[in-house]
Structure 1
Amino acid sequence: MAETKITVIYDNPTDPEAFESAYPAEQLDAARSIPGHLRFEASKVWPKEDGSPTPAYRALDLYYPDYAAASAAVATPQAAAFFEAMQRLSTGGVRVLFSDIEISQH
């Protein structure tokens, strides 16, 4: 069975400074505490050269051995704390995806 990844896509927040001040503890550290992930990635979308809004602001990816492990992870108290903070901080919107990794190069 292929790996599964959970991706959180944060849309542009209404107050980027407030988001950035809370992000390290309430999202990065909280995501790292969700059990069972094989690896963790965080990224920030490059600003557009013309100054127009980007299609998203940040993303987090948590990789799990399979769908069952990812599903079990999001049912933990650590995930509950992460998702509560995610909803509160994501003033511009947020999307969460579960994806089957079809091709991996790690």
Structure 2
Amino acid sequence: MHKLVVLYPEPTDRDAFTAYYEATHLPLAAKLPGLIRWQYTTNVSPQADGTPAPYFAVFEAEFASAEDFANAMGSPEGQAVAQDVPNYATGGAIVLDYAVTEGTKS
């Protein structure tokens, strides 16, 4: 399993971010070839001491392998997703991708 996580710092306008993200960006991301599952939130909890979280939104996507992820991001759909980020992410975006090591409950 290979995972993509995108962390979004606080945008200039939360409502504009959310409206664009949900109506335009997420439908683009949902078209990524090889995508198994995706989820997101714009409701990140404050830190334990009550200070705001360092991120406003989080997106997670799963692919079967690193090769599937690379193929998805290199595809026309992947290029469209990457090129769309500046249209809404005024606070920028931190992109992480990694192989997942499964664990078991002891």
The answer to whether TM tops 0.5 is yes
2:68 is matched by which residue type in structure 1?
A
Secondary structure of residue in 1 paired with 2:61? strand
Query: Which residue type is aligned with residue 5 of structure 2?
Result: T
Runs of 4+, deviation exceeding 3 Å: 47-53
Structure 1 position 48, deviation (Å) = 5.9
Q: Which runs of 5+ in 2 are unaligned?
A: none
* Identity, % of aligned positions: 28
Q: Following TM superposition, by how much is the alpha carbon of 1:87 offset from its aligned partner in structure 2, in angstroms? A: 2.4
CA distances 1:35-63 after superposition (whole Å, capped 9, x unpaired):
11111111221356987432101111111
TM-superposed CA distance for 1:20, in Å, is: 1.3
Equivalenced residues, count: 103
- Does residue 93 (structure 1) correspond to residue 92 (structure 2)? The answer is yes
What's 2:8 paired with? 10
Paired residues of 1:12 and 1:54 also in contact (CA < 8 A): no
Q: If the length of structure 2 is used for normalisation, what is the TM-score? A: 0.84
1:60 paired residue number: 59
